[in-house]
């Protein structure tokens, strides 16, 4: 065993950790940890703006998840703070989303490592294509997907909507087993949490939900103001796999075999 000295100065601390863990992958942390940073992030939260814009990639999301995951903040502190600032109706959407974290965690307490396997039969055909290097390096050629992979690898923070798109892309468009995607994803997220992560992947896959989650180009455009599409080659040359109606995507993605 080795005792570690964690310097008070942050730059020195980052260097010390890089030295203690020479095999750890990726860049230095761009987001600071700790309760002081957590309280500063909490202070920036606007529950009313959150409710209005949380689905948009540039909406007023809280970015509190790494702090909640590591216990720098408790869920109830955020709830009480939001209620004090905006009252029950203004805080409703934020408290609702905080409850998702609580719900997934309860499922984890109840089921233990069972959550690492299909909880229910999938409602659509799923497959197990190999997890590919273009995904792990952010070179799929699809700007909306590659942007979120780069954010994951560089900062470890990804917006909820971008996580949903990524998981749906991996599981339904690329036909990779959700568990492979989930295991890789959780290692790179600053808020990586087996319950919120693996159960969200199961929710997307339809092994812990009533139907699969998937999306189309119109949805990406709506919640990004079309910015990734404007610089996306696939979008320009007509090869965007998301450029279709929900009906035709449903038919294309899930045509093999009958739904259970």
Ligand X SMILES: Cc1cc2nc3c(=O)[nH]c(=O)nc-3n(C[C@H](O)[C@H](O)[C@H](O)COP(=O)(O)OP(=O)(O)OC[C@H]3O[C@@H](n4cnc5c(N)ncnc54)[C@H](O)[C@@H]3O)c2cc1C
What is the contact surface with another protein in residues (CB under 8 A)? 1-8, 10, 13-14, 16-18, 20-21, 24-38, 66, 69-76, 79, 83, 88, 91-92, 95-96, 98-100, 102-103, 105-110, 112-113, 153, 155-156, 187-190, 192, 194-195
244 lines the binding site for ligand X (CB under 6 A): no
Alpha-carbon distances of 93 from 56, 60, 79, 164, rounded to whole Å: 14, 12, 11, 18
- Give yes or no for a contact between 210 and 121, defined as CB atoms under 8 angstroms apart: no
Nearest to 87 by CA among 59, 52, 60, 48: 48
DSSP-derived 3-state class of residue 176: strand
Q: What's the min distance (Å) between Cβ of 99 and ligand X?
A: 8
- Give yes or no for a contact between 100 and 208, defined as CB atoms under 8 angstroms apart: no
Q: What's the min distance (Å) between Cβ of 96 and ligand X?
A: 9
Quick one: tokens of 223?
Answer: 């919640």
Looking at residue 73, the DSSP 8-state letter turns out to be S
172 lines the binding site for ligand X (CB under 6 A): no
201 lines the binding site for ligand X (CB under 6 A): yes
Nearer to another protein (CB atom), residue 109 or residue 237: 109
62 lines the binding site for ligand X (CB under 6 A): yes
148 lines the binding site for ligand X (CB under 6 A): no
Nearer to another protein (CB atom), residue 6 or residue 258: 6
Residue with tokens 């761009």: 30
Q: What's the min distance (Å) between Cβ of 134 and another protein?
A: 19
Beta-carbon contacts of residue 29 (< 8 Å; ≥ 6 apart): 14, 156, 190
Rounded-to-integer distance, Cα 166 and Cα 168, Å: 5
Which residues bind to ligand X, rule: CB under 6 A?
54, 61-65, 68-69, 97-98, 100-101, 104, 159-160, 163-164, 167, 186, 189, 191-193, 196-197, 200-201
């Amino acid at each position: 065993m080795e005792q570690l000295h964690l310097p008070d100065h942050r730059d020195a601390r980052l260097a010390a950790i890089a030295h203690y863990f020479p095999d750890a992958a990726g860049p230095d942390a761009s987001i600071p940890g700790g309760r002081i940073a957590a309280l500063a992030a909490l202070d920036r939260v606007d529950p009313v703006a959150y409710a209005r814009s949380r689905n948009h990639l540039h909406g007023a999301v809280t970015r509190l998840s790494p702090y909640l995951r590591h216990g720098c903040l408790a869920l109830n502190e955020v709830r009480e703070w939001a209620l004090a600032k905006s009252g029950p109706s203004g805080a409703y959407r934020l408290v609702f989303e905080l409850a998702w974290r609580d719900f997934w965690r309860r499922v984890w307490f109840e089921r233990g490592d069972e959550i690492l396997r299909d909880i229910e039969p999938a409602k659509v055909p799923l497959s197990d294509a190999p997890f590919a290097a273009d995904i792990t390096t952010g070179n799929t050629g699809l700007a909306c997907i590659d942007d979120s992979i780069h954010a994951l690898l560089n900062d470890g923070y990804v917006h909820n909507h971008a996580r949903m798109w990524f998981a749906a892309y991996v599981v339904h468009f690329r036909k990779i087993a959700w568990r492979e995607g989930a295991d890789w994803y959780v290692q790179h997220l600053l808020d990586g949490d087996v319950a919120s992560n693996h159960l969200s992947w199961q929710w997307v896959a339809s092994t812990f939900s009533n139907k699969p989650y998937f999306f189309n180009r119109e949805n990406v455009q709506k919640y990004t103001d079309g910015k990734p599409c404007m610089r996306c080659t696939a979008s320009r040359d007509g090869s965007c796999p998301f450029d279709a109606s929900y009906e035709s995507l449903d038919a294309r993605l899930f045509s093999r075999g009958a739904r259970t």
